[in-house]
Amino acid sequence: MHTKNYLLLLAIVCLYACGSPSTPEEQAETTPPTISTAFADQFVVGAALGGSHINGTDTLGQALVAREYNTITPENMMKWEEINPRPGVFNWADPDAFVAFGEENDMFIVGHALVWHSQLSDYVKEITDPELLLAEMKTHIDAVAGRYKGRIDGWDVVNEALNEDGSLRESHFYKVLGEDYLTEAFKMAAAAAGPETKLYYNDYNMWNADKREGAIRMIEKIRANGGRVDGIGMQAHYSVAGPSIDTIEQSIVAYEKAGLPIMMTELDVTVLPNPWDLVGAEVSQNFENSPYMNPFPDALPDSMQTVLADRYEDLFRLYLKHADNIERITFWGVNDGHSWLNGWPISGRTNYPLLFDRSYQKKPVYDRVLSLNPDGKKSGNYNYQKQANEVN
């Protein structure tokens, strides 16, 4: 057989035996999805990072975030007492690395938080002169937001300024400056961060009707006085028992009607019992540990894994239903071991509130969330369970 004819025969045999090269679309169908790619057309999805995730200490967590998510928020490293502990003293190392990590992975980068009554440096609490406190607030915002101008995509400008009844919390800023500090903070942030940066108000229990109405009134007043507020962060610190989906949806609809894009921030779901007088996510609360309050010290039973998956499925069905007005979903932590809920509101407990376990492996809840299509229904077009098992 001539060489030319032999090569032609080989090509024909290969074509039938091997199949034609796959198209990009076909390749995409066989690429295991991630949380961020699964909902890429609806909203960005991400996590809060600690210093260990960006300074080389927790490389497994860092790799998980880079693989699964497309937005990041700093857990503590940009809060006032961390980044600006003394007048004129700034700790830039971790925040710089955090922003660089987000840029390297083409993520939507969120800064958290510029003005908050908690985790506030002691020197700020000692300023009682209104002019001096306002000047220090500007110095802080100019330095922090200004350093990352054009690099951080959105800022939680003011965090947790409301009481549960919708009235303004009597924080140090409120006591010295009055409610005008809210408008001033947003004006300062707009000037320092630039016009392209989104500016948010962020708070917990935003499903509470009284608090919701207070937030809407407060933001309308800030806007009327010249402050720019681009959206609202609904901290999603939930439990498997509540609040109800209907209650959460009522607030989502109310914020939509008020013209406020929504960020579902700080998402986690506790599977542990809480003290009867627990209120929201007030970090100063703490209670005594006991076997009743720490029922799963070694592992989460399969029955509770199912309960957790059911809860997250219901939540994501709701988020997908309102995807036109929900721009971002941020889990508060990278995996169960990283979650703040292991120490709050009772120290020493073992909680399981996220999608990844302490070994960085996907939990059943992960597959349940990925099984939802853009309409919030179970997808029949992709074997998420099979693909997830292949990746693990």
Phi-psi region of 222 (alpha: psi -120 to 50; beta: other; left: phi over 0): alpha
Closest CA to 233 of 205, 257, 269: 205
Active site residue 26: no
CA angle 359, 360, 362 (to 5 degrees): 110
Q: Are 357 and 296 in contact (CB under 8 A)?
A: no
The residue behind tokens 């840029």 is: 103
Q: Are 98 and 138 in contact (CB under 8 A)?
A: no
Q: Which of 184, 266, 288, 313 is catalytic?
A: 266
CA gap 362, 155 in Å, rounded: 30
Collapsed DSSP state (helix, strand, coil) of residue 178 = coil
Supply 207's token pair: 């499903």
CA gap 101, 56 in Å, rounded: 11
Cis peptide leading into residue 85 (ω within 30°): no
Closest CA to 218 of 265, 264, 163: 163
Supply 297's token pair: 């010290």
Q: How far is CA 350 from the centre of its chain?
A: 21
Q: Are 339 and 353 in contact (CB under 8 A)?
A: yes
Is residue 297 exposed (0-12), middle (13-18) or buried (19+ Cβ within 10 Å)?
Answer: exposed
Q: Which residues are catalytic?
A: 266
